[in-house]
Structure 1
Amino acid sequence: MTSSHDNDDGLVQIHSRQPQKTQAELEKEKWQEAHRLACEGNRKKYIDPKTGYSVMTELLHKRRGYCCGNACRHCPYENENVGVSPEVKKANIERGKQRRKEIEAIEGQPVWADDDDEDNYSD
């Protein structure tokens, strides 16, 4: 949106008005930035700026190996298990858990583990 008006010297000034962002948009920008920084640092989690909760990054979701069906914010699996039948969800999760076990056997540690993290997570 723009507006214009004449100056005393006869020149026209044009003012551009940016639409105001909603509170939800501002909050989303904050957690998107927190997520970006965490991923750049190869972190598996970050702290949500609004709630203070620990949030799994896309990196950790990928390492987990499957969509849990909980409509996670950074799901790299396009939320494939959200709203599907219990049978399909169970089959997808079992396949993902098998992949995760293979990764853990190779790396010798749980996929949930962060270098400086004492929390224990399970599913």
Structure 2
Amino acid sequence: MHKILLVEDNEMNRDMLSRRLIRKGFEVVIAVDGEQGFQLAMAERPDLILMDLSLPVLDGWEATRRLKASVETKEIPVIALTAHAMASDEEKAFEAGCDGFDTKPVDLERLLGKIHTFLKV
């Protein structure tokens, strides 16, 4: 079973997406801010990270930069999840080290396609 770290501060988004991913057979670990996401990624070593970009404490861009700078976590694919749908937001996410980009509200089938591509399942 693949483990996904979901870093999302909005409780409704977090609960809805985590339940849907669990139903699809994933193990889901949850963080509510970028700092907690970074710490959980280091401790849990998930197979993939879904990273909201607008987060408290440490935003998703900086959390991703730290993950990609760490030998322990640099190979973990990070998919940015954001309501910011401008092309410049996507560029900024990739510059921070994100491997993929998806917009909110989440289209589950589209997101699952990206997850499956990164996890090769």
- Bin the TM-score by the shorter chain: under 0.3
Q: Give the structure with the larger strand fraction.
A: 2
Instruction: Calculate the TM-score normalised by the size of structure 2.
Output: 0.25
Kindly indicate whether structure 1 or structure 2 has the higher relative contact order, using CA contacts under 8 Å at least 6 residues apart: 2
Q: Give the structure with the larger helix fraction.
A: 2
